[in-house]
Amino acid sequence: MELLEKYLQAVKFWLPSSQQEDIIAELRDDIRSQVEERESELGRSLKEDEWESLLKQRGRPLLVAEKYLPQRSLIGPILFPAYWFVLKIALLCYLLPWVGVWIGLLLFSPEYRAHHLGLAVFKDLGVLWMNSWFPFTVVTAVFAVLERAKDKNWLTTDWSPRKLPAVRDAQRISRTASGIELVANTIFGIWWLKILWTQTLFESDGIKITLAPAWHKFFWPFFAVLLVNTALSTFNFIRPYWTRQRRAMRALSNLLTAVTLFFVAREFTPLMVKAPAIVGDRVATLSWAVTFGLTLSFAIGAIICLALSAVDTWRAAKIQQGPPQLSQGVAI
Amino acid sequence: MSPGAKSDSLLDNLRLELRRGCLVLAVLAELHTEQYGYTLRKALVERGMEIDEGTLYPLLRRLESQGLLVSEWREEDKRNKRFYRISREGRQILKLLLAEWQIIGASLEEILEESGNGTLRKVPTGS
């Protein structure tokens, strides 16, 4: 009997206080009825191990109590797919740049590498873990509030098939995107080539930042990258449809960009800063800081281009001849 | 998990789903005569309607909160027991549910006959 009371007490703990006594009284009666029946079959009282086996058969107290409780969830099945989608996007946008910068620093900054390898990696992983908690908590909290919003009518009634996103062919290239890419490529490319040619990065108010002569050798590779990218963007603008060859060309162009950026970052050629107003070691510090910032940007750029090249290769392999495939549009 | 075990587990889940709706009918029908939980469960099991305590008692409470059952605590055999019986509203609902049940049965019968999968009275077994 002691086992029975222990069991009932454990079940009671999980029940809502307003129903505890009622449910426990009924459960006690049910178990005792079962025991009485068993005892009359056996012609004797139940032994302790028989009690134990009978109660085990009833189930763990938490699971028994759970069946009396209303079904509750932080985010219900209706909102869960949207929650999962937003969570993935948030984590990707928040963590990927962090990881990219971290890898870039480890690869291209000997000083950073010296302080962040070995056991110090765990410290960085701790920071990464804390950084993941922030978007996770915010997204979960927002969806939990939405879940509890009383009026979910907009989800079930306030919608129209007409308002759903237009059907989009997954292989169709947006002309707007190609146009923006073409303009940005041209403007940025010419600006950067001019810098490589004149070797002057910045000149204003007596401060002049110039590239070392070693940078000059990167002029022609960057020129080639600019030509290829501009040609591809132009072609995409005129014939806005992905083919396997076009995807492969895009993969190749991204790979070419990644390789060029990698070699620039690896060179780590210091920039020269002339600033009469700044004296002594501070000029050297400024020069190092600008060089480091630029090198880091190239390193991150190289990693991103490499990733894009891999994605384009994968997409090129996936393109099938036949009926067009629908893209995955976001719609609620 | 072996394919056999997976198939058994799938069958168990589907069977549970299939039975869940029928349990309400069975409980309402059985409670035309007043009973307490333990005897009700035994009566259902004897008629081939397996149900465990963890399912029956929450179901009884839910049906009572929906007004389909009424209950009262009473002493019997020197022990307090909670007796349940179907309410007036429960009878009306049961009538409607049974009509629905017959429609579902007839539809299923027709589907099974047309698809050559036997009938509800005789479903082919084995492979």
Supply φ then ψ for residue A312, to 5 degrees. -65, -40
Check CB contact of B79 with chain A, cutoff 8 Å: yes
For chain B, the residue count is 127
Question: pLDDT of B7-47, one tens digit each?
Answer: 788 888 888 888 888 899 999 999 999 999 999 999 999 99
pLDDT the model gives residue A326: 54
Q: A145 to each of A23, A150, A287, B49, how far by Cα in Å?
A: 32, 10, 50, 42
Domain range summary for chain B, segments of one domain joined by +: 23-115
β-partners of residue B74 are: B81
List CB contacts (< 8 A) between A57 and chain B: none
Closest CB to B79 among A29, A58, A63 = A29
pLDDT the model gives residue B126: 46
Check CB contact of B50 with chain A, cutoff 8 Å: no
Q: Chain A closest CA to B116's CA: distance in Å?
A: 36
pLDDT the model gives residue A76: 86
Smallest CA–CA distance from A23 into chain B, residue: B57
Instruction: Judge whether A286 and A222 are in contact, CB under 8 Å.
Output: no
Check CB contact of A58 with chain B, cutoff 8 Å: yes
CB contact under 8 A, B53 and A30: yes
| Whether the complex's predicted ipTM surpasses the cut of 0.95 | no
Q: How far apart are CA A114 and CA A106, in angstroms?
A: 9
Residue B95 has pLDDT above 70, yes or no: yes
Question: pLDDT of B99-118, one tens digit each?
Answer: 999 999 999 888 988 887 77
Domain range summary for chain A, segments of one domain joined by +: 2-66, 80-151, 175-318
Of A194, A174, A176, the C-alpha closest to A184 is A176
Smallest CA–CA distance from B84 into chain A, residue: A26
Pairing mode, if any, of strands A207-210 and A200-204? antiparallel
List CB contacts (< 8 A) between A26 and chain B: 37, 57, 82
pLDDT the model gives residue B127: 40
Name the DSSP class of B83.
Answer: E
Of A211, A307, A225, the C-alpha closest to A268 is A211
Q: How far apart are CA B118 and CA B17, in angstroms?
A: 22
Residue A320: strand, helix, or coil: coil
Q: How far apart are CA A62 and CA A10, in angstroms?
A: 8
Q: Which two tokens stand for residue B33?
A: 């005569």
Query: Which pTM does this prediction carry?
Result: 0.60
CB contact under 8 A, B54 and A58: yes
Residue with tokens 């029940």: A15
pLDDT the model gives residue A150: 60
Of A196, A120, A30, A263, the C-alpha closest to B35 is A30
Closest CB to B81 among A29, A59, A67 = A29
Q: How far apart are CA B82 and CA B69, in angstroms?
A: 12
- Cβ atoms < 10 Å from Cβ of A322: 6
Q: Suggest the residue from B61, B65, B74, B84 to mutate for an interface test with chain A (most A CBs closer than 10 A).
A: B61
Residue B81 has pLDDT above 70, yes or no: yes
Residue B30: strand, helix, or coil: helix
Q: What is the pLDDT along chain A (332 residues), one digit of tens a residue?
A: 789 999 999 999 999 999 999 999 999 999 999 999 999 999 999 999 999 999 999 999 999 999 998 888 888 888 899 999 999 998 888 787 788 778 777 776 777 777 777 777 888 888 888 888 888 999 999 999 988 876 666 667 777 888 888 877 778 888 898 999 999 989 988 888 888 888 887 777 777 788 888 888 888 888 888 899 899 999 999 998 888 888 999 999 999 999 988 888 887 777 777 776 666 677 777 777 778 888 888 888 888 899 999 999 998 888 765 555 555 555 55
Residue B66 has pLDDT above 90, yes or no: yes
- Cβ atoms < 10 Å from Cβ of B42: 14
Q: How far apart are CA A56 and CA B114, in angstroms?
A: 47
Check CB contact of B19 with chain A, cutoff 8 Å: no
Task: Give B23-115's CATH code, choosing from 1.10.357.10, 3.30.540.10, 1.10.3720.10, 1.10.10.10.
Answer: 1.10.10.10
Q: Suggest the residue from A7, A26, A66 to mutate for an interface test with chain B (most B CBs closer than 10 A).
A: A26
